[in-house]
Structure formats: C-alpha cells, structure tokens
Amino acid sequence: MDTPVLKTLKRQLAYFLRRFYVGIKTGPSRQHFRTYIQGQLGNLERKTAAAIALEAGVAPRSLQEFLEIHRWDHHRVRTRLQEVVTQAYAHPQAIGQIDETSYAKKGDQTCGVQRQYCGATGKKDNCVVSVHLGYVADAFHTLVDSDVYLPEETWAHDADRCQAAGIPDEVSYRPKWQIGLDLLARSWAQGVRLAYLCADEIYGRCHHFRQGVAEYGIIYGVEVPCSLKGWTQSPPLQTPSTHASSTGRPRTQTRLAPGAPTPRRVDRLWQRGGPSWEAFHVKETQKGPVVWEIRSTRFFPWEEGLPGPEQWLLIARQVLTGEHKYFLCNAPSDTPVEQMIHVIFSRWHIERIFEEAKGQVGLDHFEVRHYQPLIRHLILSMVSLFFLMQESDQIQEKKIYLERASRSPGTRCAA
C-alpha cells in the first residue's frame, strides 16, 4: 500500500475513533483506545495487549490496565457502535445472524472456560465461547453485539470462582438462546432494525427463541434438528376446560383432542410422496455452483404438547453429498421459496465475519482472565472490525465506480 493511501487511512481512522469518545472521557484512556484499535488493525501476528503495547512503544501493563481497571464506559462504546452502523448501513432488508464462536484456552481461570465443544479445534476441548449478533446489509457485514457464555455446570453455582474471575453479581447463567435474544434486544434499543434473522439449530430448536424473535416482527429462517416434531396440518384440539389450580384460581387448559394424529419427526414426514424437490442454485464457489434441492410445506411445530404457530418447514438436500438440513421460517404463506432460501443460506456471512474478526483484528488473541477485560476486548474488536469492513466496502464501491468510468463514451452503465 503506497504512502498517500496510508496517510488517508490514518486520517480516516483518527476521525472514526473520535466518534467513540462519548464513552471514553479521559486523555490517557483515549490514547490507549487509539493504541489498541491501531494495533488490532496492524500487521502483528499476535494482537495481544502486550504485543500491541510493545509495538507502540508503551508499557504493556498500561494497556492491560486500560482493559482491566480504567474507568471508561465500554457499554456506551458498544451502543455507539450500534448507532454508527445503523447510520451508515440501515437497510430495509437487513439480515441479523445469531451465532457463537470459541477460543481454545488452557487452565481453568479464564472467565467462562470449560471443557466443551470447541469449533476452533473441531472437538470437545477446554475453551471459552462467546455469542454474537452479526448484521448484513447487501454485501456489507459486521458484528453489532457480543457476550460471553458462562456454562451452567461449572460457573452458575460457584460463587467463589465467579468472584475470582470478576464476574458481577448481576451476571448469571443464561442459555445461549437467551443470550441471543438479549443481544437482539440491546441492538434493537439502539435502532438496529432487522427484516430477517437466521441462526443454526442450537438456537432454532428452542421455540422460546423463535417466539422472542417473532415478537419484534422479524422473519426468521432458523435451522432445526431432524428430531423436531410437528404436523403438516393443524391437529384437532379439545375445547379449553377451566378448573381450579392448586392455589384455588381458575386455570384454562388446552389439550390435543382424543385421536389426534401423533406429531412426527421432520426427517420422517414422508416415506413416499410428499412435496416435490426443487433445485436451487445457492451460491458460487471456486469449485463451482452449490445446488440444494428444497421441499417446502406449511407446518405446525410441536411445542410443549401443543401445535405452535403455523409456519414454513423447508427440507434441504445437498445435491452432491446428500446432506440434509431442516429449517423453520415464519414468513407469510404466500412468500416465495426463493426469498426464504436467500435468508437461510445467508449464514455464510457470519462464518466470514468470524474469519475476518479472528484473522484480521485478533478477536481470539486475548490473554485476559477476568470478565470485564474480556467484554471490553470483544467490544474493541467489534469497533476494529467495523472500521475494516467499512473501508473494504468503500474501496469496493470506488472500484465499481472506476470500472464504470473507464468504459468508452456512450456505453450504458448498469444500474
């Protein structure tokens, strides 16, 4: 990259970072903020606080204390990021993406660490897991919120361990689906509006998660396990009966009517016949087009003994491998299948986001153990990633403009 471009980026970064000073009031903390972000956007192989500090010529301890004990409002920095993303990339068809990523760690002192499935190593391993909300607007994508998952087995009921890791008393165990809804609520409160949301089966299997998303008026397209049960036609219900509960108050209860069909697993709905398969070109890769065959039908998922809201069930079969995936989508009954497929197969964005966050800004390079510095690292990494994604997006726009401008006079430009 030539010198003029570097100088331009440096000026743009300085202006960009000033937008977050609302949460960082003192001069020393602002300087550390700039140093940390510049280090994450630099060429260091390992972008830890110590490595960033040494490259910048400051004491490693000072940057570590910026994460650990400096009095700056990281919550305000996070909400400012959400505001800035909305101002720059609000889109009527924006897609939200809930997903998690993991970080292999040694020992048992790091906040949230436990032996659990670790995507970073592809096996059950000692690791920390964080849950994220990605934001997609056309070709642009970034992260807008993140949080740490605290496993129930090893952290929820160990007050001494939580205290040693600096976990505040008000922070308690939440299942991953609840963290996902909390991320959505926080972002929504700052004006982040989503038309659609997708998630994998860890979240999609939970009807409380699906219901929580739907309450925002968002259309979800979530993967569900093959063991999910339900009906393709609404089963008959008994007339609600009212009886006294143990407290003496009347309680109305609805049940399946006698003789109602048993809910069936989605992978066993049709032994023969059923909706026909339709082939769809999902995306293009270096190895060629990726084609999935889709079956779609209206469906009532089994939720705590009763049929849930009517929605779409999509069964997808990979043409080359025969792999099957199952999805629920609460889109209206007249929604084209192509529109739902666009949403459910947009999850490649969140995978790319994690690759860029880890490979470019060091999302997984933290060496902190306590809760607050870990949360602050996640927030600072989101700020760095957004700047990187914004600059990449603008460079791509300039490239398209130059390509159009270079055409011979009189050539019609595509819209």
Per-residue confidence of the chain (415 residues) as pLDDT tens digits? 444 554 668 889 999 999 999 999 999 999 999 999 999 999 999 999 999 999 999 999 999 999 999 999 999 999 999 999 999 999 999 999 999 999 999 988 999 999 999 988 999 999 999 999 999 999 999 999 999 999 998 898 899 999 999 999 999 899 999 999 999 999 999 999 999 999 999 999 999 999 999 999 999 999 999 999 999 999 999 876 665 555 556 666 788 999 899 999 999 998 778 889 999 988 777 777 889 999 999 999 999 999 999 999 999 999 889 999 999 999 999 999 999 999 999 999 999 999 999 999 999 999 999 999 999 999 999 999 999 999 988 766 554 443 444 444 444 434 3
Residue type, 207: H
- Report strand pairing: 278-285 vs 264-265: unpaired
Cα–Cα distance for residue pair 176/131, rounded to 1 Å: 7
Nearest to 192 by CA among 99, 100, 78: 78
What pLDDT does residue 408 have? 43
Sign of CA dihedral 122, 128, 129, 135: negative
Cα–Cα distance for residue pair 375/381, rounded to 1 Å: 10
Whole-model pTM over 0.85: yes
Q: And the tokens for 180?
A: 């996902």
What pLDDT does residue 389 have? 95
Nearest to 47 by CA among 377, 356, 375, 361: 361
What pLDDT does residue 287 have? 76
Residue type, 348: W
Give the residue carrying structure tokens 């008026």.
Answer: 217
The DSSP output letter for 237 is B
What pLDDT does residue 2 have? 45
Nearest to 48 by CA among 372, 373, 350: 373
What pLDDT does residue 250 have? 63
What pLDDT does residue 23 have? 97
Give 256's contacts (C-beta < 8 A, 6+ positions apart): 235, 236, 237, 238, 305, 306
What pLDDT does residue 400 have? 43
What pLDDT does residue 62 have? 95
